[in-house]
């Protein structure tokens, strides 16, 4: 089957890729674009390891065909850092709190948390737990994750209007 041209924006960069029409966004990001942050945990959209943002909305990239992002903007964990190279507040808080254990779920968890903070800049612990409910982690009890996201929310709120 002939490949199709996919034109979209990935991590702020206009991108043109040749893709098979049946490839998922996850396959395309990992195998064609070389962005390996998103992981395939289940392949059925249940675990959240493949979470990326499409036009600012978190999606399970294992369930979306790559061609569905034609003309749209995709952000992966690799593109979440700020333009000056500093980590996104969620990334920095995860490091500070020692959240990663095996690390497999972390990129998807970070992407879901970042989207949550965009939607709800000052979430309660219950709202944080609900916001990351689509992301599974086998290594932790989520306590450090919730604390890190809460801290990131406080930092983000403290920099609102300052170019954050």
Cα separations in angstroms, 4 against 25, 28, 48, 114, 137: 13, 12, 27, 31, 35
For residues 115 and 158, the model is more confident at 115
- 102 shares a domain with 74: no
Q: Where is the domain boundary, 35, 57, 79?
A: 79
| 96 within 8 A of 147, measured Cβ to Cβ | no
Residue 76 neighbours by CB distance under 10 Å: 23
- 62 shares a domain with 14: yes
Domain that holds residue 32: 4-79
User: What is the Cα–Cα distance from 42 to 22, expressed in whole angstroms?
Assistant: 18
Chain mean pLDDT for the chain: 93
* pLDDT tens, residue by residue, 11-48: 999 999 999 999 999 999 999 999 999 999 999 999 99
Q: 19 lies in a domain?
A: yes
User: What is the Cα–Cα distance from 52 to 110, expressed in whole angstroms?
Assistant: 9
Cβ-based neighbours of 33, under 8 Å, separated by 6 or more:
10, 15, 17
Q: 164 lies in a domain?
A: no
Concatenated DSSP letters for 81-107?
A: S-TTSPPPHHHHHHHHTT--SS-SSHH
For residue 126, give the CATH number of its domain: 1.10.150.120
- pLDDT value for 65: 98
Residue 98 in this model has a pLDDT that exceeds 60: yes
Q: 128 lies in a domain?
A: yes
For residue 73, give the CATH number of its domain: 3.10.20.30
Domain count, the chain: 2
pTM: 0.92
């Amino acid at each position: 089957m002939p490949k199709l041209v996919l034109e979209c924006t990935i991590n702020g960069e206009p991108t043109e890729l040749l893709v098979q029409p049946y490839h998922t966004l996850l396959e395309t990001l990992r195998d064609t674009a070389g962005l390996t942050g998103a992981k395939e945990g289940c392949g059925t959209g249940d675990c959240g390891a493949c979470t990326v943002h499409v036009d600012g909305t978190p999606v399970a990239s294992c369930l979306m065909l790559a061609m569905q992002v034609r003309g749209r903007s995709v952000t992966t964990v690799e593109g979440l850092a700020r333009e000056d190279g500093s980590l996104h507040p969620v990334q920095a808080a995860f490091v500070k709190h020692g959240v990663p254990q095996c690390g497999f779920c972390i990129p998807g968890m970070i992407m879901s948390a970042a989207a949550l903070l965009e939607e709800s800049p000052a979430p309660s612990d219950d709202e944080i737990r609900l916001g990351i409910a689509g992301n599974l982690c086998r290594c932790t009890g989520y306590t450090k994750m919730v604390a890190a996201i809460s801290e990131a929310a406080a930092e983000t709120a403290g920099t609102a209007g300052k170019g954050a």
